Amino acid sequence: MAMLLAMTRSIVPATNTVKTGVWQDNPRETGQYYFKECRIAGETIGIIGFGDIGRAFASRVRGFGLRRIVRYDLYVAQLAGDLYGVEMVSLEELLSSADFFTIHCSTTNGQGPSRARQSRSH
């Protein structure tokens, strides 16, 4: 959750401008981050792996007013998704429709969500 917020709010670049003192010399440099922020509200988020951590993430991210929460997990039935208000989709659909996605699973025998690289570019 913290990584998602840091990415959408440009926390790291903004912090670096403050640490280096650029904000004192050129306040517009710091102000540029206010216009680059991205809102999570109204977007679609995908959850790959819907175990305990994926479910906890779904519960917490719901408060940000997402349009849709989708998830992919081979081993968890749709009933678990229904309890959290999360829609079960294929990995391909998740990667093509999600504005953001999180991965909460481990690799098995060297296999994992390797198709994540195929996600749509933003």
pLDDT at 60: 93
pLDDT at 8: 83
**Within-domain flag for 112:** no
CATH number at residue 54: 3.40.50.720
pLDDT at 27: 63
Residue numbers in the chain where pLDDT is lower than 50? 115-118, 120-122
pLDDT at 122: 47
**Within-domain flag for 15:** yes
Are residues 67 and 16 part of one domain?
no
pLDDT at 24: 66
The Cα 119–Cα 113 span in angstroms is 11
